[in-house]
Each structure stands twice: as structure tokens, then as C-alpha cells.
A = this chain, B = another copy of it.
Amino acid sequence: MSLAAIKNIECGDCPIRHRAVCSRCDTDELQELDAIKYYRTYEAGQPITWSGDRMDFVGSVVTGIATLTQTMEDGRTQMVGLLLPSDFVGRPGRDNAAYNVVATSTVVMCCFRRKPFEELMSRTPHIAHRLLEMTLDELDAAREWMLVLGRKTAREKIASLLSILARRDASLQASKADGAIVFDLPLTREAMADYLGLTLETVSRQMSALKRDGVIQLEGKRRVTVPEMERLIAEAGDDSDGACLS
């Protein structure tokens, strides 16, 4: 897939438009953005940024999935974000990456050189506004997730994650026959465990339990069918209506 194709299929002239950062930019501003942007592809498993390293770009995911993780010295790791197409990476004004960002599938990033981006942002109020909205959404998602990490049981944690992934796929692909939702897990059991603050064995056991109880069906390891979304949401502990993660 050529970058031109990506541009046309995924992004229009400005990939960041995924979440409309520059949907209100005028032609001049778009040209400025184009002048400082470039595409980069990362293979599955490859790091995009490493915590502490210098980071001279910001950008957004065009295709693929990446994870945001924090680690302790002894190796314990906690995922703190799941980056899907259109999600923003990097922090304007910050020189060094604060997290490990790793591609879990082949990822195409649309990057902007950081300094010129910051400068453009300071001249272009609606970019800052949009970035503020996106950041507030991420903050809500992070806080929602704190409830999952701090107070839910293993089964509820799994159901919460599946519920979020199912909801996302349902809205994206509308791949539902009657009321059932089918989607592919974008994460290994270990990555799920890192997200949920569990061990991979516990994740596996709870997946088996949900399958045994008919809440989900599994074809192979990755393809999940949710016959009744309501049932899954109930298993998740039914906190409000489940904010999206990001």
C-alpha cells in the first residue's frame, strides 16, 4: 500500500483530520501542516517511542494498533492506553517520551516535526482547542479505567475490555448479523493482562469461563462473538454506559 493510497483512503490531505484537529484549518494552514509532516511505518513489536528517549515529533496513528505502557524496574508492566487509528501520540512542549509506545500490528503513523507543530499550534487556536478536547476524552477514559483497575473482579475486567472493543468494532464496521457482534481481538492474552492488571493465566481462565457460560463464543483464539451485548455489559459491572478508551 503506497502512501499516496493511505493519504487518499485514510486521511484526505491531512491524516490528523481523523479526529478533526485541522478540520477547520484554512488552505494556508493545511499547507503548513503538509510541509512538516511525514509518514512512517512500524512493524509489529517495534517500538515507536521509548520512555525517556528524546522525541522530536508528534503525530497520529493512521492504521494499525499500538500500546502505551509503563514499566517498573523489576519488569512489572501496566498498559495505560491503547492507540487506535486517529489517536494522537506525543505531547507538545515535552522533549522526552513519558511512555513506551509499541506497535502491536503494522502501524502507519502520520508524524509532524514537533517544533514547527508547536509553533503552528500557537498561531492556530482551533488546533489547540481540538487537542484539548481529545486530551479531555483521554483523561475521561483513563479515569474510567482506574475504576476497572481498582475495583473490578477479574471477570468484570475481562468483560469491560471486551465490551469496549466490541462497542468500537460495532460502530466502526457494523459487522453485526441480527444483534450479535463479531470482532477480532487486537491483543494477545498477555497484552490483555497488562491492560487489566492481571496475569495472562487469569485472563485465559476468565475467557474460558465467559465462553463456558455462553456470554461469548470463540473461533480460534482471536475471533470473538458476542451474542447479546446486554449480557456482556451486565457482566462488566454496568458502570454507566461504558466510556470509550483511547
- Listed in ascending order, the chain A residues whose CB lies under 8 Å from chain B are 51, 68, 70, 72-74, 76-78, 80-81, 91-93, 98-99, 122, 125, 128-129, 131-133, 135-136, 138-140, 142-147, 149-152, 196-197, 237-240
Contact = CB atoms under 8 A, between A and B. Distances in A.
A147 B238 contact: no
Given A149-B149, A151-B72, A132 B139 contact: no
Stoichiometry, copies per complex: 2
Contacts of A144: 70
A173 B235 CA distance: 47
B143 A80 contact: yes
A195 to B, nearest CB: 8
Contact of A143 (B99, B140, B239): B99
B145 A146 contact: yes
Given A80-B143, A81-B143, A72 B129 contact: no
